[in-house]
Structure 1
Amino acid sequence: MRFFIELSYNGKHFFGWQIQKKVNTVEEKLEYCLSKLLKTSINIVGASRTDKGVHAKQMFAHFDYEKKIKNDFVNRLNVFLPNSIKVFNIFPVKKNFHARFNAIKRTYKYYLTREKNPFNQDFSWYCFYPLNIQKMNEASKKIMEYQDFSSFCKKKRTNKNQSVKENNICQIYHAHWYEYNNVLCFTIEANRFLRSMVRSIIGTLIDVGRNKISINEFIKIIESQNSNFCKFIVPACGLFLTQILYPEDIFL
């Protein structure tokens, strides 16, 4: 049977979602705890691959297991997991459904604080620059006119340090800044995102808000399809994966 698992995590102490050698990742912790409790080797596939330090308020993953999962299993799993990870639900889905490839929309939010606060530093970025929010929103609207986001993608490389050709096409549904109580929040929704794409877009929008580049220059950066023109990537601490949507027929 195929199961979906819904969870959230504080990404501060993780080197991202995906398993890597000799570092702490969310996927590694979850696989280890599932395998121990279910007494068999469990491999999970996540809906997204968040970067080092990025948080998730809602993440999904799938795994295959041939027995029925008991009602109290989620509680037992949460006791075993570190405090930085919480599982909300585990439920069966159709065998051919995939946590990553069947997701139809993902939403990220990024939080900037205008006031320095040591208690917010793990979940937002303190930005002391004066920013023109109106210009940043004008530039944000331009994002939705494009589909190739190579300019905002960290390139993958082979062992010989050669660039790997990738599919950098994304459909952006929404991108907007709003401000409340000295906090600036950027929301972006799309069918998929590329590696470091959201933080690269935000960094470039901040350059627009600081009047370091014009909206026309922002458009030229997108159209260049060259990540060398993206000069500023915001810190990971303020970024949250907040929602992943699936077709309704995924559920049994």
Structure 2
Amino acid sequence: MRYFAHISYNGLTYNGWQKQAKVQNVQGVIENALTQIFKKPVFINGCGRTDAQVHASQFFFHFDLEDQWDFDLIFRLNKILPMNIAVYDIIPMEGTPHARFDAVQRSYDYFLHTYKDPFLNGLSSYYLLQDLRLDQMKAAVDLLPKYKDYRAFCTSPDKYEHTLCYVRSASLLIDEKAEKMRFRISSNRFLGKMIRIIMGQLLKIGKGQLSVEEFESHLITRQTPELILPAHPQGLYLSKVTYPYLDLAPRVDFSAVLQKQQDITWKAI
């Protein structure tokens, strides 16, 4: 029987989702917990591969087990797993759906703050910046759904069969004091460090180091910028994963610090 697990995690202390030897990773920690519970190796497949220190407020993985269990698996997993990984649902699935390949849309949120705040450390990226050209950043963000090929904004584009990404929406929001920023983007797929590279380019635009026209030229020509500076990883969250047969609301709102009264404090630029 195949099962989908609905989870979230704070990725700050992990070297990404994917299992790797000799480094701390989310996949390995969860597999070890399942193996401990069922007394036999259990392997899982995740819906994506978040980078080191990147968070997921919604994430799915699937695993296969022949035998039914007669205990509360969610309770046991949450008891064994560290506090930075939480399991919300375990859903039996018909057939062999795939957590990664069946996903039709993924959404990410990138948070940054422009003043020093110890309570946002690790939850949002800190950039000591003033007087960002928000209107120009917004103009660049509005271009994203108009283009399909993101070869210019990823690492190692030649490793992919293609670099097409169907960005369905993108927006930029700020808080009341314009001290916190939130970049939201949804697409069928994302390339390596694509969102952090785009965010890095947006910050260049905000600082007056890059024009909107230059930003768009990379989308048109598909030529990689000479100098790529991806934004810090700590502000990035995988926030929503959607399947044709499964569309669950996230169980967490990133953090109370970032999301408190979100409908009041966050406003579109």
Query: Normalised by the size of structure 2, how large is the TM-score?
Result: 0.86
CA contact (8 A) 1:151 1:229 kept: no
Q: Which residue matches 2:146?
A: 145
Taking the aligned partners of 1:228 and 1:234, their CA distance within structure 2 comes to 15
What letter is aligned with 1:202? Answer: M
- Unaligned runs of 5+ residues in structure 2 are 249-269
Distance in 2 (CA, whole Å) between partners of 1:229 and 1:96 is 43
Could you say which residue in structure 2 is the equivalent of 1:62?
62
Q: Is the 8 A contact 1:221 1:230 kept in 2?
A: no
Alignment partners' CA distance in 2, 1:62 and 1:191: 19
Q: 1:174 to 1:70 in 2, by over 3 A?
A: farther
Q: Who is 1:214 aligned against? A: 211
Partner of 2:172: 177
Residues 28-71 of structure 1: CA distance to partner in whole angstroms, max 9, x if unpaired? 00111111101221111100100000001000000111122445
CA distance in 2, matches of 1:65, 1:153: 36
2:234 alignment partner in structure 1: 237
**After the TM superposition, which residues 39-78 of structure 1 pair with which residues of structure 2 at under 5 Å, given as runs?**
39-70=39-70, 72-78=72-78
Instruction: Indicate conservation of the 8 Å contact 1:151/1:230, yes or no.
Output: no
The Cα shift of 1:4 comes to: 0.2
The reply to whether residue 112 of structure 1 matches residue 112 of structure 2 is yes
Displacement over 6 Å in runs of 4+: none
**For residues 50-106 of structure 1, what are the alpha-carbon distances to aligned partners after superposition, in whole Å with 9 as ceiling and x for unaligned?**
000000100000011112244511011111111111111111112221101111111
CA distance in 2 between counterparts of 1:155 and 1:36 reads 37
Q: 1:32 to 1:205 in 2, by over 3 A?
A: same
Q: Which amino acid aligns with 1:189?
A: S
What's 2:221 paired with? 224
The residue type paired with residue 5 of structure 2 is: I
Q: Distance in 2 between matches of 1:63 and 1:147?
A: 33
**SS state at 2:168 partner:** strand
Distance 2:238 2:228 in 1: 23
1:107·1:188 contact (CA, 8 Å) conserved in 2? yes
Q: Which residue of 2 aligns with 1:160?
A: none
- Counting only pairs closer than 5 Å after superposition, residues 122-137 of structure 1 correspond to structure 2 as 122-129=122-129, 130-137=131-138
Look up the SS of the partner of 1:188 in the other structure: strand
Q: Is the 8 A contact 1:105 1:189 kept in 2?
A: yes
Does structure 2 retain, via aligned residues, the 8 Å contact 1:93–1:250?
no
- The equivalent residue for 1:155 is 156
Deviation at 1:125, TM superposition (A): 1.2
- Answering whether residue 188 of structure 2 is matched by residue 191 of structure 1, we say yes
Amino acid at match of 1:68: Q
CA contact (8 A) 1:151 1:222 kept: yes
Q: Secondary structure of the residue that 2:159 maps to in structure 1?
A: coil
**Deviation string for 1:168-197 (max 9, x for gaps)?**
111001111110142110000111111101
Partner of 2:94: 94
Q: Distance in 1 between matches of 2:227 and 2:161?
A: 18
C-alpha deviation, 1:165, in angstroms: 4.6
Quick check: 1:94–1:250 contact (8 Å CA) kept in 2?
no
1:168 partnered with 2:163 = yes
Which whole-Å CA distance do the structure 1 matches of 2:207 and 2:170 have between them? Answer: 18
Q: 1:240 to 1:165 in 2, by over 3 A?
A: closer
Gaps of 5+ in 1: 157-162
115-124 or 222-231, which deviates more: 222-231
How many residues in Structure 1 have an aligned counterpart in Structure 2? 245
Structure 1 distance, partners of 2:194, 2:208, is 21
